[in-house]
Amino acid sequence: MIETLLRDLRQPEYIHVLINPLPTYGLAMGWVGLVIAFFLKSRRAQIATLALVLIGAVSAWPVYEFGQQSYDRVLSMADTDGQAWLDEHQDRAQDLIYFFYALALLSAAAIVVPMKWSKSSMPLTLAAIVLGAVVIGMGAYIAQAGGKIRHREFRNEPPPKKPEQQG
């Protein structure tokens, strides 16, 4: 059993599937806490939940990297429709990963900047809440295409067409 687990942990596609919920579910849990902390006006709770949002946003980086590393192997395992969804999943991730990085930077700023300028706490926290909601939606959008790569039961629409296939 340990040998199997260690073998799986050397496969980037396995790691990708293992950690891919973090940028969406982890971020969403931190975000809910941040909203509550904001309304409670508790700076300590805001710092704790901003740290969770930061971790959720930063976790998009290894998910993205392991996804990139596993592209060829997953492509070879997928059927034609799954390959189209894989390309769509990759395109979405490539286009939107920078929003996760922006949220990570904003969350870090919302933790650190108010130590020097206390009046910046509420505006920065509110900005993290707004951007966090947008990024959670983006994470769901990326994941929606990813789920259709190998799960035919989730394919309730035709696969996306590449630009050269359209028109």
pLDDT in tens, the chain (167 residues): 788 767 767 788 878 888 889 999 999 999 999 999 999 999 999 999 999 999 999 999 999 998 888 888 888 888 888 888 888 899 999 999 999 999 999 999 999 999 999 999 999 999 999 999 999 999 999 998 888 787 766 677 777 887 665 55
- For the stretch 15-30, pLDDT in tens is 888 888 999 999 999 9
**For the chain, how many residues are written?**
167
Cα separation, 53 vs 60, in Å, equals 11
Give the model's pLDDT for residue 165: 53
How far from 58 is each of 5, 61, 78, 107, CA to CA, in Å?
25, 6, 29, 10
CA angle 65/25/53 to nearest 5° reads: 80
Sorted by sequence, the CB contacts under 8 Å of residue 41 that are 6+ apart come out as none
b (16+ CB within 10 A) / e for 121-141: beebbebbbebbeebbebbeb
The amino acid occupying position 141 is Y
> What is this structure's pTM?
0.87
- Select from 22, 4, 36 the least CA-distant residue to 104: 22
Cα separation, 40 vs 125, in Å, equals 12
CA angle 73/150/135 to nearest 5° reads: 95
Annotated domain spans of the chain: 2-157
Cα separation, 167 vs 151, in Å, equals 28
User: How much of the chain, in percent, has pLDDT values that exceed 70?
Assistant: 93
- For the stretch 84-103, pLDDT in tens is 888 889 999 999 999 999 99
